[in-house]
């Protein structure tokens, strides 16, 4: 028998407390064609950092410049090569931060390179046609380039993903734990697993109209349920993913200096797909401390399609654009889907809300249970997509058949591929998803 010291203790100290920064500063992205108070497109939290170039060893907090630019490019109808940020409304003082550098907190105008005179170069994926005569223009109107107001109206940029999204997934010091992918894709843990769609199942019409089935691994009657469009997440992370508190985007993994420039011109910049927080609500702080910029293990990434991840990024982004649309009192220049055509149209926020209602899309929902704090001007409504996912979780919970010990590793649903996981009860059924 082993000798045990009188002072032996098995208890470990509590987990180290998280940083929990009380309030992160924000990066506000403005449209140059609208007046102050009605030109805030969206906000991004300062969740990325690099070491200062001086000797102070302090860290500079902000937001990955390229990720913010790509977000702006999506809203500007996939104008990824034309967008840039400026400190002024007229684009005369462009941001000097390198593409892979850190955009520090502040207000920035989203500009398009092609704006000259009364024209702006925002050629959409499918060229829209005007449906109304052009009104008299003011000096500011030449900067009023059209934007895409919702995910429904957005056309997927087939074959034209931003350059960062085309790079191989190369996480630093990566080492797969094993070949098993029946665990949480973010934590590699098999506890409380739930299945999450990248492109939400409620977006089947968008999925088919944009021919996303071309990226599926398995051709079925309902391609949106293809394994390449689904991943397993622990219940709490599934909740955060559907809110959406975070997305998965590429960021530089090597060859990256503190200034944001490549270390060597002879070595290509490498990128890894990482967790990236896009919400500024207080509930996102813990996720930021735990998971921000953590790379996905290659074994999980290789089961997904980057095109579906990019569509998910856009879906999440458009939720945060709603406040800009709804707050507008003057007509907005929008690109919308009309049957199978993309058209340019001037609409007020109220008119666009009515259009969404005629489409059967929910604008405002009454939520009875606990939701996220509605702070920092975040949207206060919920997409049908999240409700559809929620109904699916509840249905799975009602029809589950837990094993005697609740830890049956031989769950038949795992053996059939990533379908609903019986034997796992979701705490999400006890309260509603957050409202934005």
**1: Cα within 13 Å, side-chain hemisphere:** 2
CA pair distance 202, 183, nearest whole angstrom = 25
To the nearest whole number, what is the mean pLDDT of the chain?
79
Please state the φ and ψ torsions of residue 425, each to the nearest 5 degrees.
-100, 135
**Which has the closest alpha carbon to 164: 63, 273, 305?**
273
Better-predicted residue by pLDDT, 378 or 305: 305
DSSP 202: G
Q: What is the pLDDT of residues 346-383, one digit of tens each?
A: 999 999 999 999 998 865 443 333 445 444 444 444 44
Section 89-95 average pLDDT = 94
pTM: 0.79
DSSP 338: E
Section 274-290 average pLDDT = 91
pLDDT of residue 114: 80
Give the distance from CA 228 to its chain's centroid.
Answer: 17
Does residue 390 have a pLDDT over 50? no
pLDDT range class, residue 81, cuts 50, 70, 90: very high
Place of tokens 């070949």: 179
Buried b / exposed e over 150-173, threshold 16 CB at 10 Å, is bbbbbbbbeeebbebbebebbbee
pLDDT of residue 138: 64
pLDDT of residue 60: 86
Where are the chain's structural domains?
26-159+319-358, 169-305+379-430
Q: What is the pLDDT of residues 242-264, one digit of tens each?
A: 999 999 999 999 755 545 545 44
Section 405-431 average pLDDT = 35
**Which has the closest alpha carbon to 125: 148, 149, 150?**
148
Place of tokens 């790509």: 70
């Amino acid at each position: 028998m082993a000798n045990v010291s009188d002072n032996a203790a098995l208890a470990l100290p509590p987990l180290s407390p998280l940083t929990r920064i009380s309030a992160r500063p924000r990066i506000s992205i403005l449209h140059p064609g609208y007046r102050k108070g009605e030109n805030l497109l969206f906000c991004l939290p300062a969740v990325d950092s690099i070491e200062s170039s001086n000797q102070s060893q302090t860290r500079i907090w902000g937001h990955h410049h390229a990720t913010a630019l790509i977000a702006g490019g999506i809203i500007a109808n996939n104008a990824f090569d034309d967008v840039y940020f400026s400190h002024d409304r007229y684009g005369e003082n462009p941001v000097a931060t390198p593409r892979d550098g850190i955009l520090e907190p502040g207000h920035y105008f989203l500009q398009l390179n092609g704006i000259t005179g009364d024209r702006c170069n925002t050629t959409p994926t499918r060229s829209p046609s005007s449906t109304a005569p052009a009104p008299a223009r003011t000096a500011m109107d030449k900067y009023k380039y059209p934007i895409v107001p919702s995910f429904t109206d957005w056309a997927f940029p087939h074959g034209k993903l931003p350059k960062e999204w085309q790079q191989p997934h190369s996480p630093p010091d990566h080492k797969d734990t094993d070949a098993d992918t029946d665990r949480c894709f973010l934590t590699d843990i098999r506890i409380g697993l739930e299945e999450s769609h990248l492109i939400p199942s409620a977006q089947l019409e968008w999925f088919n109209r944009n021919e996303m089935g071309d990226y599926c691994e398995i051709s079925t009657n309902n391609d949106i349920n293809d394994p390449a469009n689904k991943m397993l997440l622990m219940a709490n992370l599934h909740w955060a993913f559907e809110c959406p508190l975070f997305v998965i985007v590429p960021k530089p993994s090597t060859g990256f200096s503190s200034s944001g420039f490549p270390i060597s011109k002879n070595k290509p910049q490498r990128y890894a797909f990482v967790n990236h927080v896009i919400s500024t609500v207080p509930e996102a702080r813990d996720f930021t401390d735990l998971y921000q910029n953590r790379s996905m293990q290659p074994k999980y990434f290789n089961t997904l399609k980057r095109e579906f991840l990019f569509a998910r990024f856009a879906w999440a982004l458009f939720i945060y654009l709603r406040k800009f649309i709804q707050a507008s009192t003057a007509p907005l220049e929008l690109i919308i889907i009309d049957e199978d055509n993309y058209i340019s149209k001037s609409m007020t926020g109220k008119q666009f809300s009515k259009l969404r209602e005629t489409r059967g899309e929910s604008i405002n929902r009454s939520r009875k249970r606990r939701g996220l704090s509605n702070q920092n001007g975040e949207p206060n409504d919920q997409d049908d997509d999240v409700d559809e996912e929620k109904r699916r979780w509840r249905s799975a919970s009602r029809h589950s058949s837990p094993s005697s010990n609740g830890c049956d590793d031989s769950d038949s649903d795992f053996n059939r591929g990533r379908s609903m996981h019986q034997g796992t009860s979701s705490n999400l059924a006890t309260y509603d998803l957050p409202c934005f």
